[in-house]
Copies of this chain bind each other. A is one copy, B any other.
Amino acid sequence: MSNPIHISLDAMGGDHAPEVIIKGAAEAKVRFPNLKFTFFGDENYIAPLIKPFVNIKNSNIIHTNEKVNPNEKPSIAVRKGTKTSMYMAIQYVKSGQADAIVSAGNTGALMAMSKIILRPIEGISRPAIAAYFPTMTGESCMLDLGANIDCDSKNLVQFAFMGQAFARIVMGIKNPSVSLLNVGEEEQKGHNSIKEASKLLKSLQDTINYKGFIEGDKISEGKSDVIIADGFTGNVSLKTAEGTAKLVTFYLRQALQSSLSSKIGYFFAKKSLELFKLQMDPRKYNGAVFLGLNGIAVKSHGGTDAYGFANAIGVAIDMVRFNFISDLRKVISKSNLNF
């Protein structure tokens, strides 16, 4: 058996930390046994919680009393220094002791610290946050989801290459299509930064499968494997999708409870509707990836449960297994994006 994949965990990050972090780790190890964890956080609190989970009870715990608070400004979290569980967990990847870090803590702080500790890959000026987006034909990936509120055309082009690499290496799509999120498909539409990025990507079409602009309503049709946006737009789009999915299931629940006949119908359709619920489950898509860094960092939703957190660990595992970082470095150095 090859060396186990070693995941560094910020045990104190997230709404239900450390319980969900520990239970999620145990669940991830059931799915993927060749796994090893180091937990960062308050040992007195963590150690007794780990004990009942026999498959992870021998995990490494590195003690610290300090942690990043959920709504802390990233700049303040960074100023707290090197003793927070989040900082130490990232540092463990930097020093080569772990293969990836997963945290359900403060997104802004995690990105700020990851940038400082892991540093961007040469040729990338700004790392981005990427995540899966469910579609009618499977899954797409979308970035940036909030790391960079204002982006210029070069940032967007770099995101395009990072997204393409993720889709190819981690999602296993041979020649992933890439599109820029815009308000129309015509050339003259959108911000100047997008129009310029589109021109640049067209000039690079021998190295990227660029498909032009895509509108918000076409994302879920699966028209493009990779969707590129500035962090503001990407964040609003992804969150609007989450809210709309909840709205539709709310309407559906109302409809199915509205009459005796519909309740009978629900009884017969229940099993199939379970599958529907599974497809709609936001925990299934938990695990946002920080792309463009010299190390693997995955952000779990703060409010997720153990099942969701295990999925975030799963994303990190895939990136380690497919050797994502070294492949991304090759892609970026070859494509010469160091504008």
- A contact set with B: CB distance below 8 Å: 71, 73, 134-136, 146, 149-150, 181, 183, 186, 188, 190-191, 215-221, 229, 231-233, 235-252, 254-256, 258-259, 261-262, 264-273, 275-276, 279-280
Contact = CB atoms under 8 A, between A and B. Distances in A.
Given A136-B250, A237-B240, A269 B276 contact: no
Of A217, A246, A247, most buried by chain B (CB within 10 Å of CB) is: A247
B241 A241 contact: yes
Of A146, A258, A265, most buried by chain B (CB within 10 Å of CB) is: A265
B232 A255 contact: no
Nearest to A71: B186
Q: Copy number of this protein in the oligomer?
A: 2
A193 to B, nearest CB: 10
A136 B243 CA distance: 10
A248 B249 contact: yes
Contacts of A261: 268-269, 271-272
Nearest to A262: B272
Contacts of A251: 276, 279-280
A305 to B, nearest CB: 18
A130 to B, nearest CB: 16
Given A237-B236, A240-B216, A268 B275 contact: no
A16 to B, nearest CB: 19
Given A237-B237, A251-B280, A262-B268, A220 B232 contact: no
A183 B269 contact: no
Given A134-B247, A236-B181, A271 B262 contact: yes
B235 A216 contact: yes
30 contacts: A135-B247, A136-B250, A149-B191, A150-B191, A183-B235, A190-B232, A216-B235, A216-B238, A216-B239, A216-B241, A217-B243, A219-B243, A220-B244, A221-B243, A233-B233, A240-B240, A240-B241, A241-B243, A248-B248, A248-B280, A251-B280, A255-B269, A255-B272, A255-B279, A256-B269, A256-B273, A258-B272, A259-B271, A264-B265, A265-B266
A203 to B, nearest CB: 23
Contacts of A229: 236
Contacts of A267: 265
